């Protein structure tokens, strides 16, 4: 499914020739998702079985495409995506597509403490950033 609207700018890319939409994984990064799914798959290996990166990648893709939509993403223009990764812009929790809470519940056993802290931090900083941003907008309007 191709996303056509940037959550940050609220523009439809079909109205512009040079605008592209990308998906930012949130609150779990793509690396977090790969690590969690890999942890689960490794834990389920039986003696003599092996696992390849292609097995993990395939499962990660399936989780992205499932009807339950377990992967949290936000649609952003390329520029906003880069700014997001540099900590310059953020978005509201309401902008997150996908049921990331269900993913976390399904894979809770395989989420290590570092990833759990990152999830908590991402959600907390997202809320804080939104509050700060609203304050700055109010100051700029004066």
Task: From first to last of the 142 residues of the chain, give the pLDDT tens digit.
Answer: 445 566 666 666 666 667 777 888 888 989 999 999 999 999 999 999 999 999 999 999 999 888 788 899 888 888 878 888 787 777 777 888 888 999 999 999 999 999 999 888 877 776 544 444 444 454 445 5
pTM for this entry: 0.75
> How far is residue 4 CA from its own chain's centroid?
17
SS3 for 92?
coil
* DSSP string for 7-74: TTT--BGGG-SS--EEEEE-SS-HHHHHHHHHHHHHHTPPTT----HHHHHHHHHHHHHSTT--S-EE
Among residues 126, 80, 77, 78, the alpha carbon closest in space to that of 100 is found at: 126
Helix 100-107 vs helix 30-43: crossing angle, to nearest 10? 30
SS3 for 2?
coil
User: Distances in Å between the alpha carbon of 6 and those of 34, 37, 70, 97?
Assistant: 25, 28, 20, 12
Which pLDDT belongs to residue 135? Answer: 46
């Amino acid at each position: 499914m191709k996303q056509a609207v940037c959550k940050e700018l609220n523009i439809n890319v079909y109205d512009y020739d040079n605008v592209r939409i990308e998906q930012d994984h949130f609150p779990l990064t793509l690396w977090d998702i790969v690590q969690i799914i890999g942890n689960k798959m490794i834990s389920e290996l039986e003696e003599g079985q092996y696992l390849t990166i292609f097995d993990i990648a395939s499962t990660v893709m399936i989780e992205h495409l499932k009807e339950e939509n377990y992967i949290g993403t936000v649609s952003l223009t390329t520029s906003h995506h880069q700014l997001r990764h540099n900590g310059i812009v953020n978005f509201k929790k309401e902008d997150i597509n996908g049921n990331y809470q269900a993913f976390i519940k399904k894979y809770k056993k395989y989420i290590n403490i570092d990833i759990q802290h990152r999830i908590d931090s991402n959600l907390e900083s997202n809320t804080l950033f939104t509050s700060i941003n609203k304050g700055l907008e109010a100051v700029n309007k004066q």
